[in-house]
Structure 1
């Protein structure tokens, strides 16, 4: 008889031999009366002080149709060297996190905290983020009772007792839905999750955050498109995206596309606010720098520094610091180059547009525990991904991130294709660049439709996380086969 286990954190079903939950990424308890499951990260390894010389494998492969195809990355693999220091980008009162700025130590046991003090990823129970005052970055609805119109009433006679307030009617629940959303109530004061009342965006009874307009977002421009969706398991969308396109008549960078995707860290408070602040700040600074004539790499460095400062600035304390990942792209149609910057595990892909174009490839390398173990040679990729710490971050943007180094790389495709920026809600189901290319052929011809298709595929595959995909077509015949790195 097959034993069916249930994760105590998210109630997702797990197989008998699993050591961590596929839904939320948290360790599963040992089976009662049985021997502990074999854990690949119990293998003792020697500490490594630096990853600068870590061996890297090839990224991307030849396409169908015969001979080898040009790649987008150096022969020794994808970009890993830190390019831009974000030290000092957080608040002045921040103390460096323990172990920050160093390579992860030897592989710990599966039930130990992630290496380097990393934040766990996944859709486990969300800590109640509490209520916060409105500011320029507020992303949740805030009640403004004092702004509601009042109806004038006749003055009461002198000495008459004040009329008693009428009793509040008991609300019907579940509330009627709005449009196609099963949880968007017609009464904003009624909770979408229980028969409670809402104040400042949270239910006063169950404490859950109420659905917002970010549950499903679509952005469409003439040069790029993006779609972000809450998914099927999360109660809110903690992803964010932003796209800026420089005008076609700009004297310095006509038609250059700047885009950012951020994924809020679920274990941090107000992670949805963190991702929105970071994405909007990053994309805005990118476009401003490009319009001023800055090199794309310099613009990316400035944007990442400003974005890190912005998300650190919304933290109330180091113990309550919103956090998120970051990935950006600057596509210069005149030069035919793509410049990518990232911190965390949101990814950038090159999707080949044909047999004469550069092969599809992953352009980023995750700042995650599993990737660090693979790069150090401590575990194989299959072993690392089976660990309970597989998706734990070793770098992120937030006031508690410590001293981190951002990554920047520039590639020059040899032919047309598409740049895809996405959160792990998509790449968890389609991790390989070629599988993404095959899933939506000709994505560059219809970027908006392609982004919608990617979201639909992830939802059909399980939708266990928030999902975001931004696509930027690159219809260029210029360029060369190798990446340019400092």
Structure 2
């Protein structure tokens, strides 16, 4: 097998300035490929250290397209559209290929809403690592130079569908977003509207949790939107939607994992689910796991309420009278779930409940990435803006921001649904 010619020893790495040993072909500190470093010249470098460009030969074509890393989305304020991949490409001219004088420090976390380098770029643009700005990105979304996983589109998602909205965020500690959601609006046989929101949280200890949550949210949402116009009762439709989501997640167990799935176990894909259907006179919730739904009245004259009961170790301890709620949720075992969707689940037990509120308000459907920072219904109500029913996307942004400000230890996803469902044509479409 042919070998690349050996590069003459350099005193320091041109990328990170780490001292080099004779015969080094790669930098031991940053992994820089020394075989591509051109011979040093006595004239000025391509990019002066003060940032001013000096005359030089044109940069290599593959170095001209770099992915932008926009600032994180604001937690509150007017809705900010998520940037589409490739629209914020870095158009500054980098130094000649192989030489870096401006290599940024390795980030501890990637900025939110960064475009997904795995998505094919428009007009043949090359996918370049957002961390080192030098390496190409392979098909699995990893840099071939420094090995960093690239930001994904799912790191931050926002959607407003008429009067219902949702926001999902990777959080500040996780390397990917394993939550997902689906929203929709249906017309019942009597012509009245029905709003649908489903939120799913992938189980991190299982394989492919991000795929599981997406499959479940999509299947449940499609099932509800198909059944409600046919006259199915919303509570029965919710039960069948959870069953459909379970089948969708179970089907993933027979599919091979990607080459980059390095889980040290073989647990089947799994996730939790919580959903709601809101009509002009009825509020239905359904769930499996520890994702939750809260009721927050608009006038705040009556107390808010949590509409779901967790399938978790903590909930079992409280139900058995062995611990108080405060003691149970302070225990390190609190979030060990006892029910989930997936082929490894002991038995599928969909929970559903229906309510008839006597006043307007909103339903907050969320993963534990939010309710960890607003666990009691009263705490959740304090964070929900007073105009949540008419500005659902703003409300979802505020709630996600609350979780991030609190530490963002987990993925966080929240959907906001007004009650009663407004007539067709109303809302924020």
Q: TM-score, normalised by structure 1?
A: 0.58
3-state secondary structure, aligned to 2:193: coil
Q: What are the superposed Cα offsets for residues 388-408 of structure 1, whole Å, 9 maximum, x if unpaired?
A: 211111111111112131111
Partner of 2:74: none
Aligned residues: CA RMSD:
3.0
3-state secondary structure, aligned to 2:290: coil
In structure 2, what is the Cα distance between the partners aligned to 1:289 and 1:197?
46
- Correspondence for 2:138 among 199, 214, 232: 199
Partner of 1:237: 177
- Correspondence for 2:221 among 265, 277, 283: 283
Partner of 1:360: 304
Q: What are the superposed Cα offsets for residues 253-311 of structure 1, whole Å, 9 maximum, x if unpaired?
A: 53101110001111112111111110011011011110111001110111111100001
3-state secondary structure, aligned to 1:457: helix
Q: Give the deviation of 1:386 after TM superposition.
A: 2.7
The unaligned stretches of length 5 or more in structure 2 are 1-96, 256-264, 423-429
Q: Does structure 1 conserve the Cα–Cα contact (< 8 Å) formed by 2:115 and 2:153? A: no
3-state secondary structure, aligned to 1:214: helix
Distance 1:233 1:176, change over 3 A: closer
Q: Give the deviation of 1:225 after TM superposition.
A: 0.9
Partner of 2:279: 332
3-state secondary structure, aligned to 2:153: coil
In structure 1, what is the Cα distance between the partners aligned to 2:146 and 2:318?
42
Distance 1:180 1:216, change over 3 A: closer
In structure 1, what is the Cα distance between the partners aligned to 2:253 and 2:149?
19
In structure 2, what is the Cα distance between the partners aligned to 1:188 and 1:230?
25
- Correspondence for 2:289 among 328, 344, 359: 344
- Correspondence for 2:397 among 452, 461, 472: 452
In structure 2, what is the Cα distance between the partners aligned to 1:188 and 1:282?
37
The correspondence of residues 457-472 of structure 1 with structure 2, limited to 5 A, is 457-472=402-417
- Correspondence for 1:422 among 366, 383, 390: 366
Q: Is the aligned partner of 1:385 residue 2:324?
A: no
Partner of 1:323: 270
3-state secondary structure, aligned to 1:273: helix
In structure 2, what is the Cα distance between the partners aligned to 1:417 and 1:470?
14
Q: What are the superposed Cα offsets for residues 228-261 of structure 1, whole Å, 9 maximum, x if unpaired?
A: 11111111111111001014xx534531011100
Q: Does structure 2 conserve the Cα–Cα contact (< 8 Å) formed by 1:239 and 1:264? A: yes
In structure 1, what is the Cα distance between the partners aligned to 2:231 and 2:105?
53
Q: Give the deviation of 1:429 after TM superposition.
A: 0.3
- Correspondence for 2:247 among 288, 296, 309: 309
The correspondence of residues 136-215 of structure 1 with structure 2, limited to 5 A, is 170=98, 181=113, 189-192=127-130, 197-203=136-142, 209-215=149-155
The unaligned stretches of length 5 or more in structure 1 are 1-168, 478-486
In structure 2, what is the Cα distance between the partners aligned to 1:319 and 1:180?
30
Partner of 1:216: 156
- Correspondence for 1:270 among 190, 208, 233: 208
3-state secondary structure, aligned to 1:316: coil
Partner of 1:128: none
Q: Which has the higher contact order (CA 8 A, sep 6+)?
A: 1
Q: Is the aligned partner of 1:246 residue 2:186?
A: yes
Q: What are the superposed Cα offsets for residues 25-75 of structure 1, whole Å, 9 maximum, x if unpaired?
A: xxxxxxxxxxxxxxxxxxxxxxxxxxxxxxxxxxxxxxxxxxxxxxxxxxx
Distance 1:459 1:324, change over 3 A: same
Q: Give the deviation of 1:360 after TM superposition.
A: 0.7
The structure that has the greater radius of gyration is 2
In structure 2, what is the Cα distance between the partners aligned to 1:288 and 1:183?
33
